[in-house]
Amino acid sequence: MVYRVVGLMSGTSMDGLDIGLCTFTEREGYWSFVIDHGETRPFPPHLAEALAKAHILPASELVELSITLGAWCGETVKEVVGMHHFEPLLIASHGHTVFHQPEKSMTLQIGHGDVMAKAAGIPVVCDFRTADVYLEGQGAPLVPIGDRVLFGEYDACLNLGGIANISYEQSGRQHAFDICPCNMLLNLLAGRVAKAFDLDGEMAASGQLIPALSAQLEQLPYYRNRPPKSLSREMVFAEWVTLLDDTLPHSDLLYTCCEHIATQIAKVIRENDLNSVLVTGGGAMNKHLVRTMQQHAGDSFVLPALKTIHYKEALVFGFLGLLRWMGRPNVLSSVTGAMKDHCSGMVALP
């Protein structure tokens, strides 16, 4: 059976909407995939500005923003699938996370599914995290089932997005968790010198370690927690960003953050004896960060084709949406800590 799906991902790095036009094939219980087309659409300026402050908006404005984002996503998908003559069964949308506090049974991803479905004229599966949180899970990470089924030839899958997260299997059980902040820190620091990101990590490479900051980062409480665990924007700004003193040289701050990220990732790889680690996400394009990771963890890392680097998360959310459409489990309790494996996501029809 062949299924065509559009996967949408809007992550914490705030670099736009990742769109993956994906074809999944199931043959005798085995799945394969092709990313037929992938692109990242920058948010229109007014939408980007509103999303950046979504967490402090009054309730009525937040609802309005969710409707506006849903409409823009639907219209954008309609345009892209038309340009590429792609006829999808459904759209699977991660949504844009505003709040994620599973300890309060609260998680919110905006981008209204019903509005999106009507704008695109295509069914939408969205709101993947809420059901897991209500089942006492972390609501994250959700990609591990896709990692296991679609990328099982690797020991682990590492995503370097706004947050660095990893997924791997041991003794027949899938494990996954957020390791540390990644592009959220690096892009924020680049923004202090009016750049969207540190191209190839060149600014970081020109800096040097700030030992006191490095020690403070290492001692943050999150690193003493055992999985399942997940990070949120609120946590990153409250605990990590407050340590990044704006009076210190930006290149040194970037260098120290890259060193910190690489150190945390290397610890996980060594502790779990992972030999082949697929690396995707925007951070995989940061040459300095990747070199620093290699210095700490050797030859473990595998960088795939650019389409996979950039659009793996959109691909996997497309797969999660397809599993939801089929009524099959798409969230693993071993990963999120929920009471049971389950089939998560809300379906909206055009």
Q: What is the CATH number of the domain that holds 103?
A: 3.30.420.40
Low-confidence ranges of the chain (pLDDT < 50): none
Task: Give me 166's structure tokens.
Answer: 């990893």
155 shares a domain with 301? yes
59 shares a domain with 19? yes
321 shares a domain with 221? no
What's the pTM value of the predicted model, to 2 decimals?
A: 0.92
Residue carrying the six token digits 């370097």? 160
Helix (H, G, I), strand (E, B) or coil at 208: coil
292 shares a domain with 333? no
286 shares a domain with 161? yes
pLDDT, position 228? 87
From the CB of residue 31, how many other CB atoms can be counted at a distance below 10 Å?
16
pLDDT, position 273? 96
293 shares a domain with 330? no
- CA 236/CA 68 separation, integer angstroms: 27
pLDDT, position 113? 98
> Per the structure, how many domains does the chain have?
2
300 shares a domain with 151? yes
Helix (H, G, I), strand (E, B) or coil at 345: coil
177 shares a domain with 128? no
* C-beta of residue 158 within 8 angstroms of C-beta of residue 164: yes
221 shares a domain with 82? no
List the domain range (segments joined by +) for residue 88. Answer: 2-139+312-348
Helix (H, G, I), strand (E, B) or coil at 121: coil
pLDDT, position 13? 65
Who contacts 19 (Cβ-Cβ below 8 Å, separation ≥6)?
A: 6, 7, 8, 37, 38, 39, 40, 41, 76, 77, 80, 311, 314
88 shares a domain with 161? no
228 shares a domain with 96? no
Q: Is 343 exposed, middle or buried (0-12, 13-18, 19+ CB in 10 A)?
A: middle
pLDDT, position 141? 86
342 shares a domain with 319? yes
